[in-house]
Amino acid sequence: MEENQIIEAKKLLQGSKKIAIIPHRNPDGDAMGSTLALFHFLKKMNHHPVVIAPNEFPDFLAWLPGSADVLIYEKDRNGVKNILEQAELIFTLDFNALHRTGEMENVLKTLQAPFIMIDHHQAPDLYAKATFSDTSYGSTCEMIYDFIDAVSDVKMIDKTIATCIYTGIVTDSGSFKFPKTTGKTHRIVAALIDLGVENTEIHNFLFSNTTYESLQLLGKALQNMKIIKDRKTSYITLTQEELDRFHYKKGDTEGIVNYGLSVKDVIFTAIFIENKEEGIIKISLRSIGDFDVNQLAREHFEGGGHNNAAGGKSMLSMQETIRKFENIVNVHPKLKF
């Protein structure tokens, strides 16, 4: 972490302040883990923090300490807007551009208070007074560990903060298997477990928490999987009708995209999930090796992310979206067998 940014952040954290902490829309384990870890840390520093999520977080994160106090912008636009306008400092975590907060962006853009960004995605927008942006980190939670050490003392991290940090590291690293998992990641995780983090219990909360219906939905998704063998590509579709049939709840499709990469020889996969209410097909992209899905998401699907995990959206119908996707895949020079 850059020394001058740390000096700036320390300056911004002087005194006792009203602080808003904001994750991206559709927050995942890393977004919720990092915002809540920072929330508990700032409380210990005698600040008055509040976590404000743009929309609901999934049920499988509802056990995180502090999650009951998280405010949801899209559930109470005026109330939350008032709180944002009173904030003296804003942290934005786990995203690189204000539009990642959805319509909440319109409020954030009008705020006078300074921002601090902590994030590990490529190409950050430069709206913050202090910017911690580093794509070498596998998670924003791992950055929060270093941030707390840098602006205060690693000894401030207690079991509650450690539990939040551990959650984001586990979820963003695919349980420690993605390429950005380093020796340092494991040393941090070791320190967190030494602080009392109940790692087995957290894995159970995160991954042994499915319902019969969400498993049936997974079965449907796997049946829908298509393989484009001569392009080393697979993809899955889920229509709104299929989601409704299995009583889809937020979080039910989490992780399904990864099954597409588990097929032998496949290096690129996608999942297309219809959202009738928002009028979009939500897209998640994953790859193995040097096939850059961040670039593909930016170029074709109004999205972004990381080299091996990115997302975007399409305003076309499911059928047209798939046709567009297949056309891209069929001419991509890196996907030739």
Q: Which residues bind ligand 5GP (CB under 6 A)?
A: 24, 100, 121, 284, 303-306, 309-313
Closer to Mn ion by CB, 94 or 274: give it: 94
Task: Tell me the pairing of strands 233-238 and 226-228.
Answer: antiparallel
Residue 119 sits in the site that holds Mn ion (CB under 5 A): no
Of 146, 172, 254, 274, which one interacts with Mn ion (CB under 5 A)?
Answer: 172
Closer to ligand 5GP by CB, 101 or 160: give it: 101
- Token pair, residue 88, equals 């003296």
Of 180, 132, 142, give the one whose Cα is nearest residue 162.
142
For 325, list phi and psi in degrees, rounded to 5.
-60, -45
Closer to ligand 5GP by CB, 266 or 310: give it: 310
- Token pair, residue 24, equals 């991206």
Give the N- to C-terminal CA distance of the chain in Å, as an integer. Answer: 41
Q: What does the alpha-carbon distance between residue 166 and residue 295 come to, in Å, rounded to a whole number?
A: 29
Which residue is nearest to Mn ion, using beta carbons?
A: 30
Residue 254 sits in the site that holds Mn ion (CB under 5 A): no
Closer to Mn ion by CB, 94 or 254: give it: 94
Burial (CB count <10 Å: 0-12, 13-18, 19+), residue 200: exposed
Identify which range of 26-34, 65-73, 81-89, 99-107 contacts Mn ion by CB under 5 A. 26-34
When CB distances are held under 5 to 8 angstroms depending on the partner's kind, the choice from Mn ion, ligand 5GP, none that residue 30 binds is Mn ion
Q: How far is the CB of 323 from Mn ion (least distance, A)?
A: 31
Q: What does the alpha-carbon distance between residue 138 and residue 241 come to, in Å, rounded to a whole number?
A: 35
Which string of x and - marks every residue 130-149 that binds Mn ion (by CB under 5 A)?
A: ----------x---------
Closer to Mn ion by CB, 100 or 220: give it: 100
Q: What does the alpha-carbon distance between residue 1 and residue 39 come to, in Å, rounded to a whole number?
A: 20
Closer to ligand 5GP by CB, 232 or 313: give it: 313
When CB distances are held under 5 to 8 angstroms depending on the partner's kind, the choice from ligand 5GP, Mn ion, none that residue 310 binds is ligand 5GP
When CB distances are held under 5 to 8 angstroms depending on the partner's kind, the choice from ligand 5GP, Mn ion, none that residue 305 binds is ligand 5GP
User: Strands, DSSP E only, in the chain?
Assistant: 18-22, 48-53, 71-72, 89-93, 115-119, 130-133, 226-228, 233-238, 268-275, 280-287, 304-305, 309-314
Residue 94 sits in the site that holds Mn ion (CB under 5 A): yes
Q: Which residues bind Mn ion (CB under 5 A)?
A: 30, 94, 140, 172
